[in-house]
């Protein structure tokens, strides 16, 4: 019968190995804990193992506990005792340890790994600008907080805490955008069977969505046109935003291959709703495009390097605001009016789209034609009518575009135009 091991006996066994007294490893049983062995390698490295017969299949098994002296004798006996109790409860400690190790290595249900797949299979299929914004929100708001968490562990309370934190930063609209993103992510996880139910269920938007109604008046359009009179790709792009009412990304990424005479054909991969769209180009719009120099081989219209669309919209917007204010002051002084208290209400590039739509409506253009010109996905023609109405309103859209461009030209040149103004713009 084996004697109980002691620290002195353990050190003696290790010393024998280091002196080269045995050429193969030795297992020394601990009489103080049945099944516990000190495994000594010829190099003198020693570790603990617990041997038992599996209660599952009856086969001999070995559970590796750890190295000596990191695991001293007392700790090794405690570990072996726990393993013995597991066996008595019909559990296999070695099998469970292996399963736990594999589980720790498996990161397939970690939020970070799932976000990577979500980006690849869902986000990257979105329009470039939309995908870029979704990736930005993921990397800034979601991954730092939950990236190293199991997706099953994220609770509804944690979703609300995330949104509350963003609101407390004064970014209420951003909080709404983050909720929409994480809701789609967790719904995607549920659709794939990764989780049973999304923790976003029942979570309400943290802030009310306020629809913008900013429309530039006639004077502001005139000041903006004055501010964009210098040659430059972004100035030309801004004028096209005014004249066509299309989205900034659609105008900014326009290529010469998309232009066919007096028509601009935007392919479906470049539109927000995924539908190919033809925009009639007014004479003033064609003149604006013709003023852009041809650079590089990519065929981009609004570019400064010939390889990529012009960037720096935010800085350009600040420059435009300053130039518009200067134009307003100069105009007031020319008329002999006070200019000290002149200010320019805040506006965004997207407001130019609303300005164009409102301007066309003021000129008597039908709403459904204006919506067709703006390529609105949901407009006045809905339901069954939308299914069967495939008329593209090409002639009507051209009349609307030409009427609006003529009106803009009247504003900026003070020359009469052949358009009918329904009511004053200011």
CATH of the domain at 178: 1.10.150.130
What is the rounded distance in angstroms from the CA atom of residue 372 to the CA atom of residue 361?
Answer: 13
pLDDT at 387: 42
pLDDT at 393: 86
Domain hosting residue 53, numbered range: 7-105
Distances (CA, A) of 403 to 279, 280, 282, 357, 396: 14, 12, 9, 12, 11
139 and 92 together in one domain: no
77 and 139 together in one domain: no
- Residue 95: HSE in the Cβ half-sphere, 13 Å Cα cutoff: 14
pLDDT at 271: 86
What is the pLDDT tens value at each position of the chain, 426 positions in all?
789 999 999 999 999 999 989 889 999 999 999 999 999 999 999 999 999 999 888 889 999 999 999 999 999 999 999 999 999 988 888 888 876 665 555 567 899 999 999 999 989 888 777 888 899 999 999 999 999 899 989 999 999 999 998 888 878 888 999 999 999 999 999 998 889 889 999 999 887 766 668 899 999 999 999 999 999 999 999 999 999 999 999 999 999 999 999 999 999 888 877 789 999 999 999 999 999 999 988 899 999 999 999 988 989 999 999 999 999 999 899 888 887 778 888 899 999 999 999 999 999 999 999 999 999 754 444 443 444 444 678 999 999 999 999 999 999 987 655 544 433 333
* Domain tally, the chain: 3
80 and 146 together in one domain: no
> Considering the domain boundaries, does residue 421 fall inside one?
no
The answer to whether 248 and 350 are in contact (CB under 8 A) is yes
> Considering the domain boundaries, does residue 419 fall inside one?
no
> Considering the domain boundaries, does residue 422 fall inside one?
no
350 and 305 together in one domain: yes
Backbone angles phi, psi at 142, to 5 degrees: -100, -55
The answer to whether 219 and 347 are in contact (CB under 8 A) is no
The answer to whether 351 and 345 are in contact (CB under 8 A) is no
Helix axes 394-413, 350-362, angle to 10 degrees: 100
> Considering the domain boundaries, does residue 25 fall inside one?
yes
86 and 126 together in one domain: no
Please say which residue of 80, 105, 130 terminates a domain: 105
279 and 382 together in one domain: yes
Question: Dihedral of the CA atoms 113, 117, 123, 124 (nearest 10)?
Answer: 120
Strand partners of residue 278: 265
Read off the pTM.
0.55
421 burial type by CB count under 10 A (0-12 exposed, 13-18 middle, 19+ buried):
middle
172 and 32 together in one domain: no
pLDDT at 91: 87
> Considering the domain boundaries, does residue 340 fall inside one?
yes
> Considering the domain boundaries, does residue 359 fall inside one?
yes
Domain containing residue 58: CATH number: 3.30.160.390
> Considering the domain boundaries, does residue 154 fall inside one?
yes
pLDDT at 363: 95
The answer to whether 167 and 126 are in contact (CB under 8 A) is no
> Considering the domain boundaries, does residue 207 fall inside one?
no
**3-class DSSP state for residue 145?**
helix
82 and 96 together in one domain: yes
pLDDT at 179: 95
pLDDT at 209: 65
pLDDT at 23: 85
In 307-382, beta strands by DSSP E: none
**3-class DSSP state for residue 129?**
helix
Please say which residue of 105, 135, 164 terminates a domain: 105
């Amino acid at each position: 019968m084996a004697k109980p091991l002691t620290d002195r006996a353990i050190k003696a066994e290790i010393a024998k190995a280091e002196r080269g007294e045995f050429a193969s490893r030795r297992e020394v049983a601990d009489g103080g804990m049945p099944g516990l062995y000190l495994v000594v390698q010829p190099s003198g490295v020693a570790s603990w193992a617990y041997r038992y017969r599996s209660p599952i299949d009856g086969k001999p098994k070995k559970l590796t506990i750890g190295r000596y002296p990191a695991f001293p004798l007392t700790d090794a006996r405690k570990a072996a005792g726990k393993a013995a109790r597991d066996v008595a409860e019909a559990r296999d400690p070695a099998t469970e340890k292996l399963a736990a190790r594999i589980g720790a290595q498996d990161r397939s249900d970690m939020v970070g790994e799932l976000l990577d797949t979500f980006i690849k299979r869902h986000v990257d299929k979105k329009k470039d600008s939309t995908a870029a914004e979704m990736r930005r929100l993921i990397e800034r708001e979601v991954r730092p907080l939950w990236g190293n968490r199991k997706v099953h562990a994220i609770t509804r309370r944690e979703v609300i805490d995330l949104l509350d934190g963003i609101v407390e930063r004064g970014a209420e609209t951003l909080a709404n955008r983050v909720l929409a993103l994480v809701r789609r992510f967790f719904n995607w996880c549920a659709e794939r069977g990764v989780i049973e139910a999304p923790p976003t269920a029942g979570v309400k938007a943290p802030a009310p969505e306020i629809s913008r109604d900013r429309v530039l008046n006639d004077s502001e359009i005139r000041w903006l046109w004055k501010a964009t009179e210098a040659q430059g790709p972004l100035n030309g792009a801004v004028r096209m935003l005014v004249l066509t009412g299309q989205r900034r990304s659609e105008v900014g990424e326009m290529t010469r291959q998309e232009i066919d005479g007096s028509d601009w054909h935007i392919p479906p991969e470049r539109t927000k709703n995924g539908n190919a769209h033809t925009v009639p180009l007014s004479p003033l719009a064609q003149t604006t495009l013709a003023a852009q120099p041809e650079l590089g081989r990519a065929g981009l219209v609004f570019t400064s390097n010939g390889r990529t669309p012009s960037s720096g919209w935010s800085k350009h917007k600040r420059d435009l605001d300053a130039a518009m204010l200067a134009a307003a002051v100069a105009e007031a002084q020319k008329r002999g009016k006070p200019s000290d208290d002149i200010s320019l209400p805040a506006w965004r590039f997207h407001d130019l789209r609303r300005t164009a739509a409102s301007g066309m409506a003021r000129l008597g253009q039908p709403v459904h034609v204006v919506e067709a010109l703006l390529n609105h996905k949901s407009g006045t023609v809905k339901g069954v009518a939308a299914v069967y109405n495939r008329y593209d309103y090409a002639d009507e859209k051209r009349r609307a575009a030409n009427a609006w461009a003529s009106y803009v030209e009247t504003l900026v040149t003070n020359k009469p135009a052949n358009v009918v103004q329904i009511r004053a713009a200011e």
